[in-house]
Amino acid sequence: MDHQTSYNESENRRGQLQNNGYGRSQEQQRKPQPGQPRLKAIEFGVQRNNTFLAEYSKDLAQSASYLTFENDKRMLRAILWSIDEHDYSSIFSVGVSAQSVEWVGIGYDGADCYMLLHLNHHPTFEQTDSATGNYRNFLRRVRLSRLDEEHGRVAPYTSRSMKLVFHEDSPTIPTESTCSEAGLPNPELDPEAHFDNNRRAYSQENIEAVEGWLRGGSLPWEVAFQCEALFRNGSLIPKEIMLLRTQVEQVAGESPARACQALKTLRNELKTGVKHPLSGFEDEGVITLFQAHITMATQETTRHPQRLASTFLCHYVNVTPTAAFLDGPYVEPSNLVIRRYPGFDSHFIRVNINDEGEGKIRFKYEDDLPDSTRTWIGRVLKTEGIALGDRRYKLLGYRFSGLRDSNAFFSSEFMYEGASITPDFIRASLGEFPRSVTQCPARYGARMAQAFSATDPSIILSPENIHHIPDIITDNGEIFSSGCGTISRALADKVWKGWLDKLPHLRRKQRHKDEPTPSAFQMRIGGCKGVVRIDPKLTGEQLHIRPSMKRFEAPDELGFEIIRTSERPDHCFLNRAGVMLLCTNGVDASVFENLMENALQTIDAAYNKLDGVKSIFTSNRLGGAFQISKHISNLSSLGLELNQRGVQSAGLRKLIETGIYCIKLGLKHRARIEVPNSYTLVGVCDEEFYLKPREIYVCIRKFDHKTGNTKKEFIKGWVTVSRSTCIHPGHFQRLYAIGEPPADSPFVGEDNHLPNCIVFSSLGPRPVPDMLGGGDLDGDVFNIITLPELIPPLEYPPPAYPPIFLKVIPGESTIEDIADFMIDYICNDVVGLIAANNVSIASTVEDGTRNPDCLANAELHAMAIDFFSTGVCVPFEQIRKPRYTRGRNPMNGVGRRPDWQAGREQDPNDGNHYRCESVLGKLYRAVEMPSRNPAREETVQANDYDKSNAIFKALAGHVAKYQSEIKDIYTAAAPWVQILLDHYTTELDDICMSHTIARGLTDRLSEVEIMLGTNLDSPDNRILRDRMKLQTENLVDYVRLKIQGETDEDPYGWLARAWRAYTLTFSIDYEKFGTFSFSWIALGSVFDALRELDPEFLVAAEPDRPLFVKTAPLSESTQARMDGYPQSDRENWTWIEEPRLPPQQHTPVQDLVEVAALTLGKTAITALKRNGAAQTQDKDIIRRTKGTTTTAIGVGVVEGEEGEEGDEGGGMVSD
């Protein structure tokens, strides 16, 4: 196009945006203000290189539409008045997150100034009503999938590129300073832009042509999925996809796997933002480009390494308000249902329901979320499902962690062993559910979630192995054994061996032959879920199940499925909520400041000490797939150190700096401080009634797979115990650990130690786990803090909240009812919001978490956690919000918040925050962060550091011992190593591209982030991070297996290949993508091969480290307090709690449903006791007396709350 007026020539038309126009708070921005750029038109389309293809355009010249910037939300918003000619009261808006903008262009098209934006994800489309006359209602926004019907046809494909055209009488237009103030990239001024408004690439005819081909069944489904990904993700326009039809069908006929690989790598190459490999649109160059990918997609690149029996290849669909994006397949944890149908994995997909940008849908006070999301989510979950290729996928079910992250499993119909397998058939085959469950959609879905949860298969039991025993129940209905059973040692050994036998050969090889069997398993078998601990009294092969472990009847499902074990203890970390609770309970702020100082000193020491790097990487679980800590330990055993010349290469320095940056992020923005000598352990019950009510027993065991050595310690003395969901001051309890078991205890003897468990007493007025935020023993993990300074001087009784409720319906729940609950949960899950509000309130008031608002929120938090299984959500208006009293930023009117609330991308000195003198503010300011993310910056030059020749020289002497045996293989292996390296870098590049929230090529994950197992762009996106780790582990295992060989028959060949792989890549270091991480895989393989040839290699050099580190001596006051606790405290608590429900109110569930239900239209509310105590039938009671405490063992229907372990946003966190 010809620019009649250049941008630089129009300086007189361009004014600086006034502060009161672009920096005002949200409330100030809802009405047009003087100085705001007025819009003439808005267009959406596709942009490649210098061409913008407009597919939707709206004339705004006669309206009062304008552009504004919400400073407090870092959001650009186009306010569109009356775009619907039949509705003049509606106001539409297009919201663009500043972080999502990849490229900005500002120039003139004729006389009109325009602003081009290219985004890495779709904007948000919203609507408000200006005719309400109520300003608060005026702010409520309804989320839309489109602006109007015409826009709806193209919105799924064309929303990442938009053009804003400004009115000729606009008082201001965007400038470079505007973009800088808004946090946008530096704009390209007067870009060589060409505008095409007549192509109609996404006409209905073109869309139907693509869909007709893909739905026709001419392609294998896996190939059709990859083609559809190119279409739905906007990688190619419809006619370009049809240009590839002949090539795709030909290669798919020869090798579907090769076709899939070529299409997938083509899609990755097209993730390039505005800089596109194709010169224009409908370019036949796409044929040549695809042919190059076919050539690269050899059979070698389509092979997958041997996967764990507990995984499968899963295809993903990410559904947002505007579109559905396809991804995968990726290795995904499997479950009981998918393992039933081997060979039919592709008939099960995972559907993520996200906000734009793949973020979780979160409640916002200004959004009318439930009403606006019910339509588009319901269309996927209830009516249309998802059409992919020639299949239609419908909702199947969800796992607990999946629903929390807004995702579920879908399946399509297929034939298996002569039967038609549909989603309804699969759900009906899971087992028999009682009426009390099927009448509550939430509880019914939660019960079925057990079958879809990720588990590792072990062995199949026989009915004779399973025995049913009663629960431990007190007179007032408290269940001390909720979710906990027992297992004989012989059966535990068999279960563990069965799990080990299902590991790939490579992983089995890395485990020591003498490793002990874990003392406890969190498991599922049939319709039962919970923890079973070894009981040495049991003989033979016995599994003892309690009523509280039974979720539904499935007697034919006898597979023992493992969720987690007590194989090793986890580290214990504080977080902001835990800090505020402990401060409220009397712990001095200086204790946390000292812990933070010690943590930072440990980090600083790691810059020069290999042992320090290993320590912080191990405790923070960084680099697990590449076994970085193990290899660093090996280097240390060789006598090397970071400050030696030739040890620290540019790649190693970048790896260490990125790891430290990741740890510091947690310290600064979450107060994630490791507590020394403290652990996170699974809880079990005392079967012998030995422990006094306030006593626990804890044995810590660590097994070294390199040496076969076992270290064991017993914790003794007063400790603090909590759980991850703690939010109330009473959720931290002081308990007494008995230490090494006395001679009369049931824990005496090697086989009875129950290592890496926390054994709770079965005596007292109330189960201790239930005191800690409503926990039980079906898999919950507990934090045990031994540091005396963190044992609170003040004690508070745990809360006893009123009965919770079940939301039930008159008949049995259908999948539509469950889908309705899912929508409610997705829109109304406020666990994190309440926890965040509580921390904010506590940090700004004198009484901390004892503040009435915090105590009210604590009760709401318990209700929000139970939402998953009750179906009753927390009313938003009841949630207490923090009140900020430090005034507003005079520049923009934004309320000033504590500096510790500043996000990663925010400057705490920007005027929107104030210096907070609470403990959280001090901890926040104690951590200084680098100005840039070291993983993404290129400031580290290879020439600044030595190549790792010191490592090479240290290893060469050991390898030389076998020179004659490996020489020939070593010489011949160079071409083979290069092929393996090429395959590895291709797959690694795919992982980097596929696990970043940005869709541009330049913003992919870095190599060191993959090595560390972290995603610094979106550290809180658990789905993305966990999936990335699994793909990385699979790829690294593949490379290790190739180097090692399929069998153990030739250790010399293994060493030769490993040494050749290392010598060819270590000197390249970080100069070429993939070579640094590949060299670390090869380095580890060299160590392992040398140890295979000489089992004593480096074993003697391993330093002996105690399990418990030395800490500073206690102050006199702390020591006096610890010594002053009386012996009687171990017998009971100083407070006496009233029973939460009197015994006469114990009513079976079915009676409650029939008698107490209050029908409200189609639904009913049924009062039920938390943790199932009200559901216990008082019959067959066997009483046992010990001292003055009476314990009853009852047989009845006891149903605990559903849920898996996880951090719900409160108290403490483990690693």
> What are 539-578's pLDDT values in tens digits?
999 999 999 999 998 888 899 999 999 999 999 999 999 9
**Rg of the chain (C-alpha set):** 31
* Residue bearing tokens 């959280």: 920
CA distance 520 to 782: 14
- Please check the confidence at residue 944 and state whether its pLDDT lies above 60: no
Q: What is the pLDDT of residue 115?
A: 93
Half-sphere exposure in the Cβ direction for 778 (13 Å, CA): 30
- Please check the confidence at residue 13 and state whether its pLDDT lies above 50: no
Q: What is the pLDDT of residue 69?
A: 83
User: What residues have CB less than 8 Å from 205, skipping those under 6 apart?
Assistant: none
- Residue type present at position 384: E
Q: Which of 1073-1084 are b and which e, b meaning 16 or more Cβ less than 10 Å from the residue's Cβ?
A: ebbbbbbbbbbb
The token duo for 860 is 């709401």
By the 8 A CB rule, do 265 and 357 touch? no
- Please check the confidence at residue 90 and state whether its pLDDT lies above 90: no
pLDDT band at 304 (very low <50, low <70, confident <90, very high): low
Cβ neighbours around 1100 below 10 Å, total: 8
Q: Which of 168-182, 300-314, 774-788, 1129-1143 has the highest mean pLDDT?
A: 774-788
- Please check the confidence at residue 135 and state whether its pLDDT lies above 80: no
Averaged pLDDT, 961-987: 90
Higher pLDDT, 460 or 999: 460
CA distance 458 to 259: 35
Q: What are phi and psi of 853, to 5 degrees?
A: -65, -40
- Please check the confidence at residue 1167 and state whether its pLDDT lies above 60: no
- Please check the confidence at residue 285 and state whether its pLDDT lies above 80: yes
By the 8 A CB rule, do 922 and 593 touch? yes
By the 8 A CB rule, do 1125 and 792 touch? no
**CA 145: distance to chain centroid?**
26
Specify the DSSP class assigned to residue 1200: P
Helix (H) or strand (E) segment spanning residue 980? helix 974-994
By the 8 A CB rule, do 155 and 146 touch? yes
Lowest mean pLDDT across 81-90, 255-264, 615-624, 819-828: 81-90
pLDDT band at 24 (very low <50, low <70, confident <90, very high): very low
Q: What is the pLDDT of residue 1184?
A: 32
* Residue bearing tokens 């926890």: 835
Residue ranges with strand state E in 1038-1157 = none
By the 8 A CB rule, do 1075 and 1065 touch? yes
Higher pLDDT, 1146 or 523: 523
Higher pLDDT, 214 or 749: 214
The pTM score is 0.87
Q: Which residues pair with 56 in a beta bridge?
A: 44
Lowest mean pLDDT across 148-157, 241-250, 1190-1199: 1190-1199
Domain borders along the chain are: 8-196, 204-452, 573-672+933-1093
Number of helices and strands in the chain (H, E): 38, 44
Cβ neighbours around 750 below 10 Å, total: 10
Q: What is the pLDDT of residue 807?
A: 92
pLDDT in tens, 1033-1074: 989 998 998 998 877 678 899 999 999 999 988 877 667 888
Q: What is the pLDDT of residue 1171?
A: 36
Q: Which of 85-99, 174-188, 667-681 has the highest mean pLDDT?
A: 667-681
By the 8 A CB rule, do 688 and 741 touch? no
- Tell me the pairing of strands 39-48 and 51-59: antiparallel
Q: What is the pLDDT of residue 87?
A: 58
* Edge-to-edge order in the sheet of strand 194-196: 188-189, 101-109, 112-119, 161-166, 39-48, 51-59, 194-196
Q: What is the pLDDT of residue 272?
A: 60
- Please check the confidence at residue 1139 and state whether its pLDDT lies above 60: no
**pLDDT above 90: percentage of residues in the chain:** 49
pLDDT band at 109 (very low <50, low <70, confident <90, very high): confident
Cβ neighbours around 1045 below 10 Å, total: 14
Write down the H helix ranges in 297-440.
299-302, 336-340, 369-378, 400-404, 423-428, 435-438
DSSP string, 17-82: PPHHHHS--TGGGSS--TTPPBEEEEEEEEEETTEEEEEEEEE-TTS--EEEEETTTTEEEEEEE-
- Please check the confidence at residue 800 and state whether its pLDDT lies above 60: yes
By the 8 A CB rule, do 789 and 595 touch? no
pLDDT band at 1141 (very low <50, low <70, confident <90, very high): very low
CA distance 556 to 431: 9
- Residue type present at position 767: P
**pLDDT above 70: percentage of residues in the chain:** 83
Write down the H helix ranges in 183-341.
204-215, 221-232, 238-243, 245-254, 256-269, 285-296, 299-302, 336-340
Q: What is the pLDDT of residue 787?
A: 94
Lowest mean pLDDT across 60-64, 147-151, 485-489, 1169-1173: 1169-1173
pLDDT in tens, 508-538: 777 878 889 999 999 999 899 999 999 999 9
- Please check the confidence at residue 363 and state whether its pLDDT lies above 80: no
Q: What is the pLDDT of residue 140?
A: 64
Helix (H) or strand (E) segment spanning residue 414? strand 414-416
Q: Which of 783-811 are b and which e, b meaning 16 or more Cβ less than 10 Å from the residue's Cβ?
A: bbbbbbbbbbeebbbbbebeebbbbbbee
Higher pLDDT, 144 or 755: 755
Lowest mean pLDDT across 114-128, 868-882, 898-912, 1141-1155: 1141-1155
CA distance 1130 to 1147: 33
Q: What is the pLDDT of residue 130?
A: 58
- Vertex 41, ends 39 and 46: CA angle to 5°? 125
Averaged pLDDT, 363-376: 67
Helix (H) or strand (E) segment spanning residue 408? strand 407-411
Instruction: Calculate the average pLDDT of the chain.
Output: 83
By the 8 A CB rule, do 66 and 17 touch? no
CA distance 445 to 160: 36
By the 8 A CB rule, do 71 and 892 touch? yes
Write down the H helix ranges in 844-918.
852-870
pLDDT band at 995 (very low <50, low <70, confident <90, very high): confident
pLDDT band at 1104 (very low <50, low <70, confident <90, very high): low
CA distance 1186 to 1105: 42
- Please check the confidence at residue 358 and state whether its pLDDT lies above 80: no
Averaged pLDDT, 690-696: 95
CA distance 1101 to 482: 46
Q: Which of 816-845 are b and which e, b meaning 16 or more Cβ less than 10 Å from the residue's Cβ?
A: ebbbbbbbbbbbbbbbbbbbbbbbbbbbbb
CA distance 1167 to 1153: 9
Averaged pLDDT, 421-426: 96
Q: What is the pLDDT of residue 155?
A: 94
By the 8 A CB rule, do 349 and 410 touch? yes
Q: What is the pLDDT of residue 1150?
A: 34
CA distance 148 to 143: 13
- Please check the confidence at residue 651 and state whether its pLDDT lies above 60: yes
Q: What is the pLDDT of residue 948?
A: 62
By the 8 A CB rule, do 1070 and 654 touch? yes
